[in-house]
Chains A and B, each alone.
Chain A
Amino acid sequence: MTKSKVFWATIAPTAAILNSLLFVSIILLFRGVNPLEIFQLMISYGFDPRNVVSEINATVAYYLAGVAAAIGFKMLLFNIGIDGQYRMGAFFGGVVGAAVNLPPVLHVLVIVMTAMLAGGLWAAIAGYLKVRRGVSEVISNIMLNFIAAAIIAFLLSPNLLGSLPPGSQNVQTKPIPLSGQMPTFKMFGGEVYSFLFVAIFVGVAYWIMLNKTVFGFNLRATGLSFRAARASGVNAPGMIFVTTVLSGAIAGLVGIGTLLSDTHSYSMSFPSGFAFTGLALALLGRNHPVGIFFAAFLWSFLERAAPVLEFEGVPPEIVIVMQGTIVLSIVVAYEIVARINLKQQQRAVGEANVEALTEKEAK
């Protein structure tokens, strides 16, 4: 039983990745290069120890975005606002971290809490609009992403919360002092963020929360059927709001690894596009903490291995196309698997009915 469950859970992602590889191969053939050679090159470059370290660090951020999206998905919420929530978290984490002066561990804790609070509060706007005003979270979050970016761009100006280090063109928040920084540790000859452990903790906590707590049960119940959950005494609108805020709080952590262990200040050069990535990873990993991890590693692997394509005359942006087709293939594959399962169930019910009838006639 569990074996077939694992089979059905992994067949769709595997099929999706293979389908995407096939699609990209065709594009590469048009370019006149051998796709197998290209993939081989990407693998050897991507597993180069130096690149593995930066892949692990990128995985930390992607993983948190994926978990944030998965929390939303469990409630049938489409949290496309992860991008804005992450920006708010990283920005205010950076601002508060530079402004306060605390003993080492407490300082980091305050930054992390601020980031979660900022991300959660920003998500709360969408949650409020959804619960009280019936506004689709997709539309409100798209608008909120743009607004978050504008607010931060405004606040980052040097005479407000930002600063312009001498000899630099890049406005950024003031640097976080040593007590608020997080150490890195050596692995494969590189520096891995110790925020990795926070990400692992978040993954474990997500699994326990979902499967072992009353809150998680209510969350899943509301996601499966809003009305049934409400009828059995769950405060379903309240659950939607809390879930949105929780998802936003996790999204607020996405940029913190880079902030605390690498840059020590937030700037406009922080990457964007985490919303779609998070949703894609949650879909690919089936909202499961382990599945999301593999998906996140795949994503950062593809991104870090892409630059090598340049030497072969292939624009590295092909990787973006590949990521997009993986997502489309995965949702199509889930749809097909669901249809097959439905058909099997219907057949099973039909056969049971026939059996029951023949038994009746035999009597």
Chain B
Amino acid sequence: MTTKTSAALKPASKMKSFFKSPARITILIAGLFLIISIVEAITGAVDITSPGTSGATLRFAIPLLMAGLGGLWAERAGVINIGLEGMMIVGTWTAAWFGYLHGPLVGFAAAAIFGLLSGFFHAVLTVKVGIDQAVSGLAINLIAAGGARYLSGIFFPAAGGDRTVSPPVDSFPTFTVPIIAPLLESIDKANIFFISNLAGILLGVTKDISLVTVALLLFVPLTSWILWRSKFGLRMRFSGENPMAAESLGINVYRIRYIAVSISGMFASLGGAYLALVASSVYREGQTAGRGFIGLATVIFGNWRPSGVFAGSILFGFTDALRVRQSESVMSLVFAAAIICSILTIFYAISRRWKPAGISAIGALITIWIHQSVDVMPSEFVTVFPNVATLIVLTFLAQRLTPPAMVGMPYKRGSE
């Protein structure tokens, strides 16, 4: 038994130690970045590292991040939240309407409160009544979408909006980091290989950013701290891993789940509020466009960890930004992927690990073929990249993922 478990744990722990070391991660990112710089120098397309792209990436990533954190909170406590999409709709609508009436700050507060309520609703249905968590989440999506459209039809036309679009809301003030941003701008303009590219990316996230962006980003370390450093976080994870054992140690699993799922709703709703108030300045029907589901995907992609959710939402936000900006840059990314696959092939071949070498060789051939035969990547494929990536992760890395053991399982006090 022991040998079996240790053998099964081996690859996972190996991976962990590899990625845990900060120096290694820095080298990896720097290497990746170097390759992208080389590709940009060769192809002449500079949009990947332009400040516009990194700024847009951040703007697109925040709603996904908030939805992902929402999913993370619920799932860590053992409740799967498919209603994230609906809760985001709640956020977009309430933020726009209350923001129109009383200013954007009140809009955000309203989104937080109504999001909390929508999460609480999901908690009552799944924890107290004990209905299927997926059914409850899907019904919330439907009711939120229908309810938002119903209320828009009543309130918006009278207020100078439209049946599907709210009246415009005042925007939040933005700020630019003093000294650093102008410095980065001059470096970016200087056009030095590698350094200017790096400065371009950093400029995008230091110039004209909204205070809300910074505030919402703080939820990542906060969630991390709560999950792994606080008593509540320990109890929350325990409720997701083994609710019966948790209950037997005197933890009130129901209460923990109520709190966690309510906060989950609040986070998703804040993500929606960001879409309505920061990324644009109106509520528009269909604004969330499946972002709640992509948030759910970032939870899987990030292996149920706040930092992983953050990385996943940046990656998916980046693809979103590329979709709206230029499709030529997607082709340079394919080129970069071809280079990376070739390097990996050589690396694995030298260390005589033939299976990964073969896989990366196939990857290299496919990417080169795509680069040679396709002129412009169809936008449909850029749009569904997050979904495809999640499916691939689930297919090939499902054994390495560590979801909470009892996520999605209804738990009734006193039953087995």
Contacts and interface: CB of A to CB of B under 8 A. Distances in A.
Do A and B come from the same complex?
A: yes
Interface of A: 27, 31, 78, 80, 129, 133-136, 138-140, 142-144, 146-147, 149-151, 153-154, 157, 276, 279, 283, 315, 317-321, 323-325, 327-328, 331-332, 335
10 contacts: A135-B398, A147-B387, A147-B388, A153-B380, A276-B141, A315-B153, A315-B163, A319-B146, A324-B140, A328-B136
Contacts of A157: 378
B153 A31 contact: no
B139 A328 contact: yes
Nearest to B85: A142
Contact of B296 (A139, A317, A327, A328): A139
B143 A276 contact: no
Given A317-B147, A320-B147, 13 more contacts: A78-B132, A135-B395, A142-B82, A142-B296, A143-B388, A150-B380, A276-B141, A283-B135, A320-B146, A321-B143, A321-B150, A324-B139, A332-B131
A327 B142 contact: yes
A143 B390 contact: yes
Interface in B95-137: 125, 129-132, 134-136
Contacts of A139: 296-297, 300, 390, 394
Contact of B146 (A31, A133, A279, A317): A317
Nearest to B299: A139
Contact of B139 (A140, A146, A327): A327
A317 B378 CA distance: 34
B135 A279 contact: yes
B381 A154 contact: yes
Contacts of A324: 139-140, 142-143, 146
A144 B391 contact: yes
B346 interface: no
B290 A320 contact: no
A133 B395 contact: yes
A321 B380 contact: no
Contacts of B311: none
Nearest to A152: B380
B129 A133 contact: no
B245 interface: no
B145 interface: yes
A172 to B, nearest CB: 16
B32 to A, nearest CB: 25
Nearest to B143: A324
A50 B384 CA distance: 40
B293 interface: yes
A134 B399 CA distance: 9
A1 to B, nearest CB: 28
The DSSP consensus for interface residues of chain A is helix
Interface string B399-410: 000000000100
A327 B135 contact: yes
A139 B80 CA distance: 10
Contact of B154 (A144, A279, A315, A320): A315
Instruction: Classify the interface of chain B: helix, strand, loop or mixed.
Output: helix
Nearest to B382: A150
B297 to A, nearest CB: 7
B138 A315 contact: no
B391 A154 contact: no
A143 B82 contact: no
B149 A315 contact: yes
A159 B96 CA distance: 41
Contacts of B152: 315
Contacts of A154: 378, 380-381
Nearest to A144: B391
A318 B135 contact: no
A324 to B, nearest CB: 4
Contact of A129 (B131, B135, B153, B395): B395
A82 to B, nearest CB: 12
A207 to B, nearest CB: 24
A80 B387 contact: no
B391 A143 contact: yes
Given A150-B381, A317-B153, A133 B394 contact: yes
Nearest to B378: A154
Interface string B161-205: 001000000000000000000000000000000000000000000
Nearest to A157: B378
A327 B135 CA distance: 8
Contacts of A320: 142-143, 145-147, 149-150
A154 B290 CA distance: 19
Contacts of A143: 293, 297, 387-388, 390-391
The 7 closest A-B pairs by CB, nearest first: A320-B146, A315-B153, A324-B143, A317-B149, A324-B142, A150-B384, A150-B380
B132 A331 contact: yes
A323 B140 CA distance: 11
